[in-house]
Chains A and B, each alone.
Chain A
């Protein structure tokens, strides 16, 4: 391959990352934020969002693409938080309680999600997306109509004035920043939420360890080729369900960590964009539908949130309206998902063409395994 082709390939493989770095480099000076300000915000946002984004990794390893069904886990986490606030459980204990309430719910929802996805192999992403819409209806019914009417709610302050249904916005004062403040370290001008980072580090260690276990290897085999994995005796459907269940449970914990950092909860909307922004973040980091790593997750969160943070102010300073930046935020979110999916499809086709060429050239001298694999794609 010539040097020009190589460069083109590298640029194409990392198009989204390069695009985001360029946009950020342009937007930062116009935003007028100091480096210190931006870095502090990035530290906070990394702590807030990392857990949610890392929850996407296992389904990607299992070949199920980007798990838009993680919204179900976020709903379970929110129900846990509603219970914790209703019972007046404060501090980190409130978060643990919310996680304990959310865990069985998210396992159940994850199992349902996995079972549905097993019936829609090859279309997991759109299935997860639509399933999240459906489950949103169930969640609304549960929270808006049954809480206070069928499910007992102790605290009248969280109920709507009609006597049942949870208020649109829930004040999370009892658990606000309780994980972040558990171990806050000050390094120079920066405040680092060490406890939150420790929890994220534990999850990273878990993911690295899990990949090496028998189940983790099975997951990767399933992700590589369903038929071959099945022939090798791996319980494909069970493995896929486990991947989605773990992802949903992690999304539940991620949403709890996210909301404790925010300090309040939009009861009926907070989970809506959870999957969408997590997916956008991991794609910005250079991941694809088939391949993702811890580095992709962290790089993506950094770049996406850097863009989210500086773009409204840059829009304000450039065009006199912060709405431009807000519009840009939505546009970038959807745009990056679309761009990544298009690039993924294009790369797959390009690899297949390349492999076919290699196969043609080596036609007489035997076929290489890589060429065969590429041509099959």
Chain B
């Protein structure tokens, strides 16, 4: 296809069309990155190897969202938009000063887990991708690896292995 740009009117029209296409892509990219939602699971648990310990009572807020209280062993979620965020932690122990930090989440990840004790201890990475355990997959793998005498045995086995989401 040949584009004729002889007259100033044609040139202007062509430029306007190019500008519109560019604007279209710019706005798409802006809303894509700026509006991308992420679920952050805020975790206040001890490490398995006790390399860090849960905070004994704190209030955490992400960006300008309402803050939530956390006790040792608690986990809650915050839904955020965009990739760059600010976390503010105020401790129940008034002697400890407030903590503020910024962090970035990867664009492609839907759900992340942020360990506050790890972050306070300066251990990296304190943000990790959270993958919900797939019950069906695990169930099938387990079933093929082990043989159960009865359904009750199988059920108990799965309970012990902590396969149920949220248990």
CB-nearest residue of chain B to A100: B28
Contact flags A112-155 to B (C-beta < 8 A → 1, else 0): 00000000000000000000000000000000000000000011
Given A90-B79, A155-B110, verify A100-B27 contact (CB < 8 Å): yes
Given A93-B81, A97-B32, A155-B110, verify A88-B27 contact (CB < 8 Å): no
In angstroms, Cα B32 to Cα A97, docked, is 7
Indicate the member of B27, B37, B79 with the most A CB atoms within 10 Å: B37
B31 CB-CB contact with A under 8 Å: yes
Residues of A within 8 A of B24 (CB): 100, 103
A87 CB-CB contact with B under 8 Å: yes
Given A93-B81, A155-B110, verify A88-B28 contact (CB < 8 Å): no
B35 & A91 in contact (Cβ 8 Å cutoff):
yes
B38 & A88 in contact (Cβ 8 Å cutoff):
yes
In angstroms, Cα B36 to Cα A88, docked, is 6
Q: Which of A232-280 contact B (CB under 8 A)?
A: none
B27 & A174 in contact (Cβ 8 Å cutoff):
no
A89 & B36 in contact (Cβ 8 Å cutoff):
yes
A229 CB-CB contact with B under 8 Å: no
Residues of A within 8 A of B81 (CB): 90-91, 93
In angstroms, Cα B47 to Cα A219, docked, is 71
In angstroms, Cα B80 to Cα A90, docked, is 9
Residues of A within 8 A of B35 (CB): 89-94, 96-97
B31 & A97 in contact (Cβ 8 Å cutoff):
yes
Query: What's the minimum C-beta distance from A21 to chain B, rounded to whole angstroms?
Result: 43
Indicate the member of A88, A92, A155 with the most B CB atoms within 10 Å: A88
Tally B residues with Cβ within 8 Å of A. 13
A89 & B31 in contact (Cβ 8 Å cutoff):
yes
Query: What's the minimum C-beta distance from B33 to chain A, rounded to whole angstroms?
Result: 9
Residues of A within 8 A of B159 (CB): none
Query: What's the minimum C-beta distance from B45 to chain A, rounded to whole angstroms?
Result: 26
Given A93-B81, A100-B24, A155-B110, verify A88-B37 contact (CB < 8 Å): yes
A88 & B110 in contact (Cβ 8 Å cutoff):
yes
Contact of B31 among A96, A103, A155, A174 (CB under 8 A): A96
Query: What's the minimum C-beta distance from A181 to chain B, rounded to whole angstroms?
Result: 14
In angstroms, Cα B32 to Cα A297, docked, is 34
B138 CB-CB contact with A under 8 Å: no
Query: What's the minimum C-beta distance from A260 to chain B, rounded to whole angstroms?
Result: 13
A93 & B110 in contact (Cβ 8 Å cutoff):
no
In angstroms, Cα B11 to Cα A260, docked, is 40
Contact of A89 among B27, B37, B79 (CB under 8 A): B37
Query: What's the minimum C-beta distance from A209 to chain B, rounded to whole angstroms?
Result: 18
CB-nearest residue of chain A to B110: A88
Query: What's the minimum C-beta distance from A78 to chain B, rounded to whole angstroms?
Result: 18
Contact of A90 among B27, B28, B37 (CB under 8 A): B37
Given A90-B79, A91-B81, A155-B110, verify A174-B28 contact (CB < 8 Å): no
Residues of A within 8 A of B129 (CB): none
Given A93-B81, A155-B110, verify A87-B28 contact (CB < 8 Å): no
Query: What's the minimum C-beta distance from B136 to chain A, rounded to whole angstroms?
Result: 10
CB-nearest residue of chain B to A157: B110
Query: What's the minimum C-beta distance from A79 to chain B, rounded to whole angstroms?
Result: 15
Q: Which of B30-78 contact A (CB under 8 A)?
A: 31-32, 34-38
6 nearest CB pairs, A to B:
A93-B35, A90-B37, A89-B35, A93-B31, A88-B37, A97-B31
Seed contacts A90-B79, A96-B35; 17 additional CB < 8 Å A-B pairs: A87-B32, A88-B38, A89-B36, A90-B37, A91-B35, A93-B34, A93-B81, A96-B27, A96-B31, A97-B28, A100-B24, A100-B28, A100-B31, A103-B24, A154-B110, A155-B110, A174-B37
- CB<8 Å pairs between A and B, sample of 12: A87-B32, A88-B110, A89-B32, A89-B36, A90-B35, A91-B35, A93-B31, A93-B34, A94-B31, A94-B35, A96-B27, A97-B28
